[in-house]
Every structure is written in structure tokens, then in C-alpha cells.
Structure 1
């Protein structure tokens, strides 16, 4: 009976429960290692790499229940030296690391270091050599704000997802890298390893290959992006160029810029301190987050609002004597001697403030805001990009909610793009694109994903009469191409192609009545108190292909005009873009 019981128990263990104990024994002798995927590429529309990867060899430690991590680390250091920072980092990791996740001992191994590790492998159980990737940005600062950068995952995210806790894994921290992180990230793989009783890897039992992230081709043109940054030449400001036919963003730069490669392994303290103390704020993306008073670049919007609601006609004229009294305050034109009789086209041409004081009071802020909304000036643009600031134009409802007494003087100031109105350079680029085409153009930054084109739509027709658009376009043409125009000194002539546009200057300080009455020279103010210079334009005149908005902080009137001219010249002579 005793032997029968023993025999039965042996049969139960070795036959009936064989699958269970086989799995348990296998689990005791194997480790599963997650393999992070290679991040997808980001390119321009022609395939020029804007964000790529560089392979790096590194030493990793696979922890297990029997791994004596401090002893292995001590042996490792006898072969390859570690910095004090590395030792501190590893000490923290050993205390809280999950056993199935590998630990990075040292990154970017040399061939000599890899050879020494291979020779000493028997005395380093659990230590393996594998390859990882570091992010590289070939255009550097020229694409820092738009392409963005990668960062180590937050601790909370890494705790929730073991893949994010792997050494070297990075996630998008800004720009396209952040907006399309899931597409770029890829799918991790799994490698099943057989280990001996000391934790040393004996062989690879199986592997599920990782899948690299997808390649995203942006609508940007690398040549135009570089040209835009060269034109700004470090001056604080922003430039956006769009394809007026379909909304493809060809260039989007903010200056000054920064070196985004620092974020991969953590920005050094001295670099971060320098960025934080820089009064020009290099980390701020002025194209999508910079909110500026539009100044006279808002006047085409005011003119269209007035024409549509029949507050004026194309032939309506107002006399500019250089000033206009509204209530008990005098409002001045930039030309104190006055422009004389002005209609809509000539008022745009010479940027007559008095004309637009009259027009704004006839139209009212609600109708100006409604037209601004239709032209893409209100709210954040519908574009696949993170942290988009939204343009703002005041309304009667907004003023009433804040208990703000709204006067005719406030309305007049809104008519020349001052007061409470603030817009981003991207908002302004959308506006001038819609004025140029009469269509609801929407900006797009992604052109294709893994060679699958993203369809760019031209947009439906705006609810604007062609005769009203013609008046505004005529005025914008005369701004650049007639001697009395405010942009005459920066006109374009490339193979017979010309541009149209509108200049603008916007005060950054509140002017006192005494300053206005004295007709002070703002060019003699300290640099940071001088007005911002703006320009919006499109080219060619007859069949607009490109639209540009430029903001140069505290710049001269023609600075943004010449920047736009040079961008149009480059774009219109590019065979690739014309194709």
C-alpha cells in the first residue's frame, strides 16, 4: 500500500502535472526582456531627414531573483570606469527597479570596452551588450520649435507602462515629436533568454521582433526653413510661409532658437539657467504661441467687414487731416500732416489710420470680430500641433462680462489693430491666405505617413463677395507696387512675379496723450520699447501660390517686408516647389 501510494504520487507529479511543473521550471530558467523599438523618422516633403536616429552600443544588466547587483557592479567597474553620477543613478535604480527590466550600466561603449566585456562575460552574470538609439536633428536650431524634441518619460507614465521604463526610451516633448508621439514610437519586441543558475545568459530561446515607428513626412521644405532662419538672423520674431493652394506649411520658424539635442539626456543646469534668464525667451515658439497686436495688418479684415455690411462702398471716402477727435480725446494718424481724401484701396495703400477710425466706428467690434473669425484670426488653428495659442478679438459680449465700458474710442483703436486684439503669426498667415484665395484654407504640417499621402484640401469658398475681395487685393497690391505704398522699398520682381501685402507696426507700450501730441520718434526709444514690425503678403499677384506672415519684434517698418520678399523669391524660383 505504501509503494502504491508513492507510485501514484509519482505518476501524478510526472504525468498529470507535468505541463504545470515544466512551465514553472522553464520560468525559473528563462527571462523575458522587452526590446524598445527604433523611433520613426521625421522628414521634410522631399525626404530630407529632420529627425533621425544614431545607433549606440551600451552595457545592460538583467536583474533576476539571484542577481547580486552590487557585486556585479563592482566587477564591472574594475573593467570599465563609471562616473560618480552614474554610480548615484545606479544606486537609486537598484532600490526600486522591477526585476524583469534591464538596467543601463553605461551608454555609448567603444569597441575596446565591448571587447573587454565579452572577454569577462563569465564573471559578469546578467551583463549584456545591446544597441540603442539616440535622436539626432540634422538641421539643428532651424527646426527646433517645429520638429520639437524627445525627453525621458515622466515617472508616473513609466510606472504605468514597463516599456517606457526601459533604458534609452524617449517620448515626444514638444512640436511634431509630441503631437505624433504614438505614430513615431513604434511597437516593442520581446526576447526570451535562457539563463543558468548564476544568471548568465546561455542562449536566446525566442524573439518577437520590435516594429520601428512610422516615418512622418512634413509639408516643410528644408531649404525654405533654413532660408527663413537665415533671414531672421537671430532677431526675435517669427515667420510662417504657407502654400496658398492647399494650406501646406512650407516654413515655420521662431527666433531665437535653441539646441534641442540637450533634452535627450537632460538639459544641464547651466544651460537651463541661461535659457531661463535670456530676455528673448528662446524656448517660446513665437509662430504658434506668440501673441502680438496685429497693428495695420488687421486693416484688410476691417475693410472686408465694412464692405460686407455695407458700412462703406469701394468709393466711400473720408478726409484725413492727420487727426480725429473722438469724445474728449484726439486720435492721430501716423502721418501727422494728413493723407487727404482716402477710399478703402488708397487707405490700405498708405495705411491711413484716420480712415480706419471712421470705418471701425461704423462697423462696430462685433462685425470686425465676426470677419476675423471667418478669416482664421480667432481661436487656435485646426492644425495637428501641440500648444497652439488662439488669436483673440474683443466683442461686446466679452466687454459686458468684464464690466468694461466700451467707448467709440476703444472701437476706433481696434480698427487699426491695437487695443485688446492679439494674434499669432500663424493666425495672420491663415488670414492673408484666405484673403488671397477667397477660400477657407486650413494649415497642414503632415504631408505623408509611411509614404501614404495625407490629402490636403483647398477649402470651400468663403462667404465673401468677389468685388469686396477685389477692393482689398487692389489696396494690398498698391501697398507694395506703387511709390506711395508703405512697402514700396521692399517690392518683389522675380521673373515678372510680384507680391501684394500689408505692413503693420504695433506699439508695445502705452502712449500717453503728451507723447502722441508731441509726435515722438519711437526709433529713439530703447530697443525693447520700440514697436513690433509686421507684414502679411502673398505672391504671385495673379495666381497666389504662397502666403507669408512675418513678425520682427522692435524692428523697422521694412524689415519684415524684405524678409517676405526674400522668401517669395526663394520659393518662386524653386523647381521642386513649383512642381
Structure 2
């Protein structure tokens, strides 16, 4: 039955409306889709391109070359050497067990090496390269490179590692570097991203640690392309970092080596300073150690050997060790008393061998006494009673003030680890630290460098340099940074009486050059090498002992300080020999040899020494393991 025309027209109108609505919707959808595609393909093209590149391009840090360290003559003390290593990136490596199994067929990896690397991988972010093995031979690295397609995420690299060519000579000065530890990171609020690189080396102790910011430099970056398997295909670009600053020190490698060789077998320290500039020409602590042992992680056996040695090779005795200065402190007491006007240079004091204070006797080292002595004789013959009397007159606070002025009780700002402050005690110090009142007997003990007084070899050398010049010169260890000369440090004149200083210097000259002097056997003959010094012996125990008849660790410490040449001072020297017995027998001969070597510039001829001492000196020098000009260690070549 045919539909009425009216119904047919109505149906056609409905179909047309639906078609228009549907077509319009489709056109609208297509318009939105086209707009979105345009936005993504044109407006956001750069962003999506970068996101795509991240799937195939990695950006890695390039560790900078660490700054080099030289002695004053340009000889390398710390340098960088090539280091072939293998690194792995966990997110690119796939099956780690399979990768390590393949690697062990190519390079020598122990179970400990693998376990250590796995621990490091678990601790680090997946994208951080982890060092599997370093210090490899070129043949091992080449094997890995050839088999790279089968080792996803594994890359052979050539890096740099620290090396100390002079080994033990500067271990306590320069220190050493080592891999960054969690403890190192915990001390930093905002650690440098470089420190996240496994086995990245930073300064641990000594100048390497104190000058870390200068020596480290800043990182570079490289963009590398990797395939779907994680294999590095090519390097796309590289931006080099900034090398660390090079440091030139004031120390002289030849003099430093001589001192270390001279102190072999001793537990001792020696410091040499240029009295005009404050340059530390040598600063040695014996025994020493090879810092190269620590660079790649010291073995348990080697570390145990160092820590169980009763001569304490890891301790830096030159700046860290503090000792009662003994009679080397008598110049301080003398200057304090004469500057205060409580005694004159020509005034004599009678020494019967002791000073009575109440019911207690304070003995002189010479039981029979020295008779009447003045400033000159008291220093030359090291009379104790003279200084007991001065201390009772002047008081401890003035003695302490003079000690501080001369550099004792002051932490000198050298870039070395654990630089000690020492102690120049006062009445307030004892009350605050011991909750006890200061006694007159304390002053008497302090006057001869015993009791509470403590000084390091560095401080004793500074004291001697200041007495020699009358200037408050300060020690300097870094000569230049990237060839830029560092300033000479001085606080100007000491403000002491030239007459009193001259009297003290003359007395020190007699110590070494008068037959009555305590160091007469340790004199030098040439006029331009004559030294002025002072012996010292500091007690280890409260009772006086015969050093020959007690165990080594119970013997007194031996000290000697001096400057030379007497008429035109150039250097100051301090020597401390732990448990050496007496300053005149153990420390003074060492200081004499150091002065001769420093002033001569090399091993001097034996005729600069007294004839009676030459055979003994020749025997010592022939046994010294001096470093030869070819860099090797061997017997000395005496002039």
C-alpha cells in the first residue's frame, strides 16, 4: 500500500536533518582532531622530539681532571695517570647475572669484585654508571670493546686516577684522595652531582682535603646515542668541564726527602721555614706511609700494619702532635720577664741546683747547680733555676701572652689536617678547664716548658723564626694557585726590645758554638752556616728517669730549635724526636744536618762539620735511603 505523499515528505525532512546533524558532528570532530594534530605536530614538535630523543640519547657527566700539585721547584707531588676501567648502566644492562657472567670470561673479576659492584648498583640510581673494575690492562679493555654488542649497558672507559710519585715524602702534607663515601656525602648539604659518580675521587686528608674545592674542578657533559639493547652507538656531542686548579707549594722536594731519610727509624717530626717569607720549606713526620695505598682502597693487611705500629705513621706529628717544649720554651720566659722589667740582662741569679718553694724543691737538671748565671749563661747552659726565679717574678699571664705573641697556643692557618692549637696556659684557663686555682708551682713548671704548656713542631719553628727576625711572620704552604702568587703573611714587628732580642740570639749562638753550650757538638764550621739554637728535653713521666734504662715509650722527648746563618738568618728549624732521650744527643744532630743540607742546597762536604763528628756523620749519611735524581731510592751520594 502506497504511503501518502505527506508522510513521504516528512520522512525525507527527518533523514535530511539527521544527516546534517551527523555530518556536522563528524566535521566538528575532524576539525578538533585536525587542530590537535596541528598543535602536537607543529606547536609542540620540539618537546616531543626531545622526549623521543630521551629514549635513545643519554647525557652523562665527564669528571674533570684534578688539579696538579708541585713543589717550589716545579717537581710533581700529586699527578693524574690514565686509568682503564669498565662501567655499567643498570637500566641499559638487562639481565645483570648474564652480563657479569659474560664479563668474567673477558676480564679478571673475582667473586668479591662482582659482589661489590652489585652492592653499588643496588645503591645507585638505574641511570648512574657504576664502575665494575678499574686499573685494567689495555688488552682487557680491548676485549670488552670488541664484544660490546653482547654486553648491553657495559662501556670501557679511559679515566684519570691520582698518583703520588714521591710516595712517602709528602704523605702527611698532601694527604691522599679516595672514593666518595656515604659519610662524605652526609657532611654536605648540596653535594656536587660529580660526587654521585661511583669511585669518584675526592680529598680525604691533608691538603687534598683542605683544598678540595680548588683541586676538583667542574664537570663536563657528553651526549651519547644508545640502541634498544643499551649499547652505546656513538658520542653526539661533548662539552669539556673545567680542570681543577694547579697548586705550587713552598716545600722543596729534595730537602723533604733528606729529612725523611734522616729520620728513618725514629718517631719524630721536623719543620723548616724561610724566616723572611714564612715559606715552609719542609715539614716532615716520621715514620711516613705511601699514600698511593689509599687511592684505590687500602687492604686490611696494609692498614693493620700502619695502625698497629707503635711509631704511629698515620699521625702527622709536625702539626698535629703537641709536646711539652721543655727548655726550648726558656726564650719565651726570658723575653716575658725582660720585657716586663722584672730582671735585666746583666743581672745574675744564684743556682744551687734547686729552688725552694714552701716545702717543695724544684730541681735544676744539674744537681750541683750552676752558681751565678745571667740571661746569656742561663740559656747557654740551660739552667732551670734562673727561669724558676723569673716565673715567680713575672707571673704566668705575662709568660702566656709572650708565648702567644711568638706563635705558641695559636692555630696557624695551614691547609693541612688537624693543625693543633697547642696551649699557652693562663690562670683563667686552669680555673675554667680544671676548676682549680693557679699555683706558683704551676708557673715554675711552665717557665721551663713543662706542666701544662704544649707546642707543636710547627709552632716551635714559628717561634724561632720570630725570635730570629723580630717579625710576626706567619707560615705559608701554598706558593701559587694556577701560577698566581699567594701573599706573604706577616703581622708586622713583634714590638719587642731589639736589645733583649739581641741578647737572646747571642745566648742561642753560644748554645751551639761555645764549649759550655749544650749543643756544642752539633755546630757547623763555616761562618755563613753557623747556627744559633736551643736544646730541650720534655719529661714523659712525672718522675725523672734514666733514659738509658727504661723502655723506649717511657723515655723523654728530645727537642731542638735553631736559626741560621746567625749573622743573616735565612731559615728556622725545629726537631722533635719522640722518646729520644735528650735534646743535645738526639734532636740537635738531626737539626744540624738539616741546616747544612738546606743552606748548601745539596749534601754538603763533610768538612763543614767538626773533624771529630765526620766519621759518624758519614756513616749515617751512607745508610740514608735518599731519593736519587732518577726518582729511585738508594744510598746517598756524598759530596
How far apart, in 1, do the equivalents of 2:84 and 2:93 lie? 26
How far apart, in 2, do the equivalents of 1:177 and 1:534 lie? 30
How far apart, in 1, do the equivalents of 2:508 and 2:536 lie? 12
Structure 2: gaps spanning 5 or more residues: 1-26, 604-639
How far apart, in 2, do the equivalents of 1:158 and 1:363 lie? 52
Is 1:564 aligned with 2:591?
A: yes
Partner of 2:97: 70
How far apart, in 2, do the equivalents of 1:93 and 1:179 lie? 27
Is 1:148 aligned with 2:175?
A: yes
Bigger shift: 136-145 or 487-496?
Answer: 487-496
Partner of 2:500: 468
Partner of 2:574: 549
How far apart, in 1, do the equivalents of 2:320 and 2:459 lie? 10
How far apart, in 1, do the equivalents of 2:464 and 2:421 lie? 17
Is 1:228 aligned with 2:259?
A: yes
Bigger shift: 492-501 or 428-437?
Answer: 492-501
Q: CA deviation at 1:353?
A: 0.6
Partner of 1:536: 561
Matched pairs, number: 569
How far apart, in 1, do the equivalents of 2:379 and 2:93 lie? 80
TM-score of the pair, normalised by structure 1: 0.95
| SS of alignment partner, residue 55 of structure 2 | helix
Structure 1: gaps spanning 5 or more residues: none
1:142-221 superposed matches below 5 A: 142-155=169-182, 157-158=184-185, 160-221=191-252
1:374-389 superposed matches below 5 A: 374-389=405-420
Q: CA deviation at 1:325?
A: 1.4
Is 1:349 aligned with 2:376?
A: no
Is 1:89 aligned with 2:116?
A: yes
How far apart, in 1, do the equivalents of 2:413 and 2:239 lie? 39
| SS of alignment partner, residue 134 of structure 1 | strand
Bigger shift: 208-217 or 540-549?
Answer: 208-217
- Compared CA separation, residues 234 and 15, structure 1 to 2 (3 A): same
Q: 1:69·1:94 contact (CA, 8 Å) conserved in 2?
A: no
Is 1:414 aligned with 2:446?
A: yes
How far apart, in 2, do the equivalents of 1:266 and 1:408 lie? 53
Q: CA deviation at 1:575?
A: 8.6
Partner of 1:239: 270
Partner of 2:343: 312
Partner of 2:86: 59
How far apart, in 1, do the equivalents of 2:380 and 2:260 lie? 29
Partner of 1:432: 464
Q: CA deviation at 1:99?
A: 2.6
| SS of alignment partner, residue 503 of structure 1 | strand
| SS of alignment partner, residue 213 of structure 1 | coil
TM-score of the pair, normalised by structure 2: 0.86
How far apart, in 2, do the equivalents of 1:455 and 1:343 lie? 41
Partner of 1:296: 327
Q: 1:492 aligns with which of 524, 536, 546?
A: 524
Cα deviations by residue, 1:227-266 (Å, 9 ceiling, x for unpaired): 1111112300100000000100000000111221121122
Q: CA deviation at 1:128?
A: 1.6
Q: 1:36·1:163 contact (CA, 8 Å) conserved in 2?
A: yes
Cα deviations by residue, 1:198-239 (Å, 9 ceiling, x for unpaired): 111222111111222111100000011011111112300100
Larger radius of gyration: 2
How far apart, in 2, do the equivalents of 1:403 and 1:122 lie? 74
Q: CA deviation at 1:522?
A: 3.2
Q: 2:92·2:152 contact (CA, 8 Å) conserved in 1?
A: no
Partner of 1:508: 540
Is 1:104 aligned with 2:131?
A: yes
How far apart, in 2, do the equivalents of 1:128 and 1:65 lie? 11
Q: 2:173·2:206 contact (CA, 8 Å) conserved in 1?
A: yes
Cα deviations by residue, 1:432-485 (Å, 9 ceiling, x for unpaired): 000000000100100011111112145411110101101111111111110000
Q: CA deviation at 1:68?
A: 3.7
Give me the CA root mean square deviation: 1.8
Is 1:441 aligned with 2:466?
A: no
